[in-house]
Amino acid sequence: MGMVINLAQRIESSAPIGGLRISRATCRHVRDVFNVAAQSPINVKGEDEPLETYLVLSAKERQFHATRSGIEGVSTEFIGREVELTRL
């Protein structure tokens, strides 16, 4: 429970049936992965100003880029994530 959870629930409940509405903050995190459409600001209980929201339209085509990070020659393993690794 808490303010963030309540806000997320209110944004989610305002989405059209079968759709996904996200906040501006979430949009910044996923804008390179999903196509989104800006929506008219919505009034949300507990917020002073209307919130900018976006509808997720579709996943973008994946762009794979070879990126290097860490230390050359050192690899790390998933520890305790066997189920997740299997899903990947």
- Give the pLDDT score at 22: 93
- Distance CA(45)–CA(7), nearest Å, equals 8
Sheet holding 21-23, edge to edge: 21-23, 53-59, 34-38
- Give the pLDDT score at 52: 93
DSSP state of 78: -
- Chain-centroid distance of CA 6 in Å reads 17
Q: Strand, coil or helix: what is 9?
A: helix
- Distance CA(22)–CA(8), nearest Å, equals 8
56, HSE (Cβ side, Cα atoms, 13 Å): 21
pLDDT in tens, the chain (88 residues): 678 888 888 888 889 999 999 999 899 989 888 999 999 998 888 888 898 999 999 998 876 655 556 666 666 676 787 888 788 7
What six digits make up the tokens of 80?
A: 């305790």
- Asked if residues 54 and 29 have their Cβ atoms less than 8 Å apart, the reply is no
